[in-house]
Amino acid sequence: MTVTVTGQKELAAALQQIGRGDILRAADRGLKQAGLSIIADAQVNLRHNHTNTTGRLSQSGRVQRVPLEGGYDVGFMMGEQNYAGAVEYGRRAGGMPPVDALRSWLKKKHSGRNSALRAAAAFTGRSQDRLLTSSAWAIAKSIAKSGTRPHPFFAPAVNKNHARIVREVRDAIVQVLNRPNYV
């Protein structure tokens, strides 16, 4: 049995003419587009997991170029605290989470005209601000004691887009190869 491949000379000539730069730029565009797709799907997952109350985590999604490595970092970068990791993988017991962040979360979650916070303040005679602070401390102590369960949002987005990453890069390169001046 014999397999004959034709067009090798033409392909080699086209690849030489295109040059490495065009192909790398095309692959780069494909990687960036795939990264943006991962971020978009992860943001949808955050909404479905009900872990997007303040929206800060969702808004921290980034696709950043890493020039020395020739690729991209795709992820959720929210300051120095690994909040994205705590949401994705859960948090072990031990150590208090930041009370201010929990207070902001509570305020966002329980704001509004008919909120439980307003009703509790009216019932107890304490200010809403004081109730927020004491509730945030109680939640922080509970998390320190028991931890939190995972709410995966990023890994499912990466898994969903795995084939798309390959396709985006491939399609970007094929577009360069199919340009009329290269064929």
Across all residues in the chain, what is the average pLDDT? 80
Whether residue 183 has pLDDT greater than 70: no
What proportion of the chain, given as a percentage, has pLDDT over 70?
Answer: 81
pTM above 0.85?
no
Q: What is the CA radius of gyration of the chain?
A: 25
Buried b / exposed e along 25-39 (16+ C-beta atoms within 10 A)? ebbbbbbbbbbbbbb
pLDDT at 142 over 90: yes
Per-residue pLDDT band at 3 (split at 50, 70, 90): very low
Most confident stretch, 10-24, 47-61, 112-126, 145-159: 145-159
Question: Tens of pLDDT along 106-133?
Answer: 888 777 666 777 777 777 777 778 888 8
Determine the distance from the C-alpha atom of residue 15 to the mean position of all C-alpha atoms in its chain, rounded to a whole number: 35
* Residue 13 in this model has a pLDDT that exceeds 80: no
- The residue length of the chain stands at 183
Strand duo 71-76 + 61-66: pairing? antiparallel
pLDDT mean over 165-170: 80
Distance (Å, whole) CA 10 – CA 17: 10
**Angle formed at CA 122 by CA 118 and CA 127, multiple of 5 degrees:** 75
Confidence tier at 26 by pLDDT (50, 70, 90): confident
How is the chain split into domains, by residue range? 8-90+149-183, 94-148
Residue 5 has pLDDT above 50, yes or no: no
Instruction: Give dist(CA 24, CA 27) in Å, integer.
Output: 5
Q: What is the pLDDT of residues 30-49, one digit of tens each?
A: 888 888 999 999 999 999 99
